[in-house]
Amino acid sequence: MKMEMQVVAVEAKRQPVSEIISLVGNLLANESVEIKSEIDGTIAEIDFLEGQRVEKGYLLIRLDERKLDAAAAEAAANFALSQSTFERSQQLFKEKLVAQQEYDQSQSLFQINQANLEFKQQQLKDARIVAPFAGIVGGRVVSPGQVISRTTTLTWLTDINPVKVEINVPERFIGQLKIGQKIQIRVASYPGKRFDGEVYFIAEQIDPNTRTAFVKAKIPNPELLLKPGMFANLDLTLQVRENAIVIPEMAVSQLMEGGGGTVFIVDGASKAQMKKVKLGVRNEGKVEVIEGLSEGEKVIVEGLQKIGPGMPVKMGVNTNAPTASK
């Protein structure tokens, strides 16, 4: 009678597993714009504080409006006169009291003055420079009384809630990506803290040089801890299998090509039997078994070096052996 070898075995259990890949990316603002004026002019008022949170439409800077106001008033007067003249010409033309040419001239002058009035009114409106979206105003680089042109930078406006992260995902994972995929990022400024987000853009083509796809994700940033330009370490969850078979990684006695391996189980006759398995995700000392093992089968985790197929075994207890939790 063969001697029984003492081993430690644990049951294969079902639990959720997440397939995660680790990547690196760069953080960007959700929206960011350099604030400039659409017209030349002189700064009359600066109505923001550096670093101030503003809403869309908030008045940032007002230019001197006096010349623009006068020009708009002149355009309005010319428009009113040409409108009155055109209306009279219409009536006289219907009564055949004026020639076609005279009527056309009054209509053309009316349309020119109408366009000029709209232009002057828009210039007057452009003298008030407002926030195009809600965000945080940057530093200001101009002062009241300064003459500016349309190329002069006045300040910057940035929205960083949420922030965006740009990553390049290897080609072999593209088939598992989808919009709404969950991600987690870590940044050096806050060690140990993770920030959750999700994918919202996947490029339609692969970069032929890097064999990667350009992917973007958004990360909620209500505390404004994340800043554009930060370097992010990112965990991208490709898929979650809610009912996977999981065993301790130490139960795999031999790895084979193609994601396979071998394990020893304890059969109903208390004998060790070798099984070939197909392995999946590895995570924190555990490994997913895709094929070759059923829930409840006892896999040997200690004593593997002393056994062979068909050898009688006696199961011992080791409370320190890692087990798959439900």
CATH number, residue 164:
2.40.30.170
| Domain stops at, among 241, 257, 277 | 241
Say whether both 212 and 274 belong to one domain: no
Say whether both 171 and 224 belong to one domain: yes
Say whether both 71 and 138 belong to one domain: no
Distance CA 292, CA 276 (A): 6
Q: Enter the pTM of the model.
A: 0.67
- Residue 222 and residue 228 in contact, taking contact as beta carbons nearer than 8 Å: no
Say whether both 135 and 223 belong to one domain: no
Q: Around Cβ 19, how many Cβ atoms within 10 Å? A: 17
- Is 145 within the bounds of a domain? yes
Closest CA to 157 of 231, 63, 226, 55: 55
Q: Around Cβ 60, how many Cβ atoms within 10 Å? A: 21
Distance CA 129, CA 37 (A): 7
What tens-digit pLDDT sequence spans the chain (326 residues)?
567 888 999 999 998 887 778 899 999 999 999 999 999 999 999 999 999 999 999 999 999 999 999 999 999 999 999 999 999 998 888 888 888 999 899 999 999 999 999 999 999 999 999 999 999 999 999 999 999 999 999 999 999 999 999 999 988 888 888 899 888 999 999 998 999 999 999 999 999 999 999 999 999 999 999 999 999 998 877 777 888 899 999 989 887 777 789 999 999 889 999 999 998 888 778 898 988 899 999 999 998 888 889 899 888 755 444 444 43
- Is 275 within the bounds of a domain? yes
Say whether both 221 and 164 belong to one domain: yes
- Domain total for the chain? 4
Residue 303: CATH number of its domain: 2.40.420.20
Please report the DSSP string for 270-323 in residue order: SBEEEEEEEEEEEETTEEEEEES--TTPEEEEE-GGG--TT-BEEEE--TTS--
Say whether both 162 and 229 belong to one domain: yes
- Assign 251 to helix, strand or coil: helix
Say whether both 56 and 134 belong to one domain: yes
Residue 265: give the domain boundaries. 5-15+244-316
Say whether both 308 and 233 belong to one domain: no
Q: Around Cβ 269, how many Cβ atoms within 10 Å? A: 9
- Is 325 within the bounds of a domain? no
